[in-house]
Amino acid sequence: MTEIVDVAIIGAGPYGLSIAAHLAASGVDFRIFGSPMHTWRTSMPEGMVLKSEGNASNLYDPDGEYPMARYCLERGLPYKDIGYPIPLATFINYGMTFQQHFVPSLEDRLVRSVIPTRYGFDLHLDNGEVASARRVVVAAGIRAYEYMPPQLADLPIDLASHSALHVKVGGFRDRDVAIIGGGASAINLAALLQQNGTRVTLIARRPAIDYCGPPAERTLLDKLREPESGLGTGWRSWACCAMPDVFHAMPERFRMMIVRKHLPAAPGWTLQPQVDGIVPTILGATIARADAIGGRVRLGLELRSGGEKVLTADHVIAGTGYRVDMRRLAFFGPPVLDRLSCAENTPRLSRHFESSIPGLHFVGTAAANSFGPMMRFAYGAGFASRRLSRHLVRGLVRGSVPGGAPSEQWTPTGLART
């Protein structure tokens, strides 16, 4: 029988690496699988900048030794806590450096399946190995959750694709491309494609593109009226960062409503002068139909103002974001999915990020409906790594079986004290 480690982590982005750094410092026997910063390297367009401010773009080691600020200082790169957009390349290189320093044991392997066992879980890897662990932390990022509008889903890939597939944009030079969406992904691509010689048309259902506001000098009164947090300014954002346990205790429907409505995927303020008045834009429009005709796509658009508009393009890119759905994780099959308690296909989690399957934990976007919008951003990795690592270490010291403390039991809506 193969050796059973205490913890296996699936995913090596900001959440997986931060948790691994905490477990390594605590002497926990763990393995971590994944390609470092994979989503950021393979699903974000080159040349983009982060929407998060510098002080909210860290990875987290337990002593706070290596924030983004230190990385930039050591390399002579420009940096500000607030007011300087961090280039994507800088964030990726920072994450890779963090991994090499704090998580050198990372195994660049793909997990093909996760199977519950009597001792925990077996992880079947792409090299044929079976890695056994008492507990599993899923930090798989967003790549599996890309959302493609049903009107575009049946078109061939050479005519319609998701924004996650476009890291390099030079291949669309001198072509007509329609981009669907008004969030960060769509607006980033619209700006970059336009600058690279593509004839872009942006189509959004919103009546206006809702850019994040630029940072500005704030008085003490401003800070009292709208306090600052890792998610920006305002009391609601501050509460989401300062009180995730309070959020977790709220009724499920309320939590899910807040996650849907608060901090949508708005584009950063630096993109507005690159898009407004430069990229042709159709606002208040939704896709009624999309047909492949003569090697191009003909879009039928319904206008909020009434009527219809027809647009033809060489290619359509859906900048329509991501929707968490456990069924989209390729390494989960019926042995997990049939036992996993979910709300709208997202896992219900305890205060320790534990699901209804004892020993199976979720962090990142998959945990947003349990802990709030903070989990959709890299900033949330700080709270998640501290909370989850303390829980895992405590369980190992006490010799408890996967599933947490004996004083907790699963109910249809989560863990309840007994």
How many CB atoms sit inside 10 A of residue 170's CB? 11
> Quick check: 385 and 15 in contact, CB under 8 A?
yes
Q: pLDDT value at position 414?
A: 37
Please choose, from the candidates 205, 209, 257, the residue with its C-alpha nearest in 3D space to the C-alpha of residue 236: 257
Pick 211 or 218 by higher pLDDT. Answer: 211
User: Are residue 52 and residue 186 in the same domain, yes or no?
Assistant: no
User: Are residue 39 and residue 139 in the same domain, yes or no?
Assistant: yes
| 261 assigned to some structural domain | no
d(CA 339, CA 406): 20
User: Are residue 164 and residue 140 in the same domain, yes or no?
Assistant: no
| 260 assigned to some structural domain | no
Pick 258 or 233 by higher pLDDT. Answer: 258
Q: Considering only 121-125, 384-388, 407-411, which range has the smallest mean pLDDT? A: 407-411
| 382 assigned to some structural domain | yes
As given in the structure block, the two tokens for residue 198 are 């593509």
d(CA 48, CA 266): 14
Q: Considering only 284-288, 340-344, 413-417, which range has the smallest mean pLDDT? A: 413-417
| 235 assigned to some structural domain | no
| 237 assigned to some structural domain | no
pTM exceeding 0.85: yes
| 295 assigned to some structural domain | yes
User: Are residue 159 and residue 294 in the same domain, yes or no?
Assistant: yes
Q: pLDDT value at position 352?
A: 96
d(CA 137, CA 21): 14
Please choose, from the candidates 60, 288, 48, 318, the residue with its C-alpha nearest in 3D space to the C-alpha of residue 182: 318
Helices (H), 272-380: 272-275, 334-337, 368-371
Give the domain-ending residue among 318, 337, 355. Answer: 318
User: Are residue 326 and residue 314 in the same domain, yes or no?
Assistant: no
> Quick check: 232 and 209 in contact, CB under 8 A?
no
Q: pLDDT value at position 270?
A: 86
Q: Are strands 176-180 and 315-318 parallel, antiparallel or unpaired?
A: parallel
Asked if pLDDT for residue 246 goes beyond 80, the answer is yes
Give the domain-ending residue among 285, 318, 351. Answer: 318
User: Are residue 290 and residue 275 in the same domain, yes or no?
Assistant: yes
Asked if pLDDT for residue 351 goes beyond 80, the answer is yes
Looking at the 3D structure of the chain, how many domains does it have?
Answer: 2
Give the domain-ending residue among 278, 301, 318. Answer: 318
Percent of residues, the chain, with pLDDT higher than 70: 94
Asked if pLDDT for residue 410 goes beyond 60, the answer is no
| Residue-number span of the structural domain to which 345 is assigned | 4-145+322-417
Sequential DSSP letters for 148-198: --HHHHTS-TTTEEEGGG-S--GGGTTSEEEEE-SSHHHHHHHHHHHHTT-
d(CA 377, CA 379): 5
Give per-residue pLDDT as tens, 267-284.
888 889 999 999 999 999
Asked if pLDDT for residue 409 goes beyond 60, the answer is no
Tokens 């390099």 locate to 168
User: Are residue 50 and residue 157 in the same domain, yes or no?
Assistant: no
Give per-residue pLDDT as tens, 354-392.
999 999 999 999 999 999 999 999 999 999 999 999 999
How many CB atoms sit inside 10 A of residue 399's CB? 6
Report the CATH number that the domain containing residue 173 is assigned in CATH. 3.50.50.60
User: Are residue 388 and residue 302 in the same domain, yes or no?
Assistant: no
User: Are residue 379 and residue 300 in the same domain, yes or no?
Assistant: no
User: Are residue 141 and residue 161 in the same domain, yes or no?
Assistant: no
User: Are residue 299 and residue 354 in the same domain, yes or no?
Assistant: no
| 405 assigned to some structural domain | yes
* Sheet strands (E) in 52-173: 111-116, 121-125, 130-138, 160-162
**For the residues 42-68, what does the mean pLDDT come to?**
92
User: Are residue 108 and residue 164 in the same domain, yes or no?
Assistant: no
Give per-residue pLDDT as tens, 170-207.
889 999 999 999 988 899 999 999 999 999 999 999 99
Give per-residue pLDDT as tens, 215-229.
777 777 877 787 887
| 242 assigned to some structural domain | no
Q: pLDDT value at position 400?
A: 56
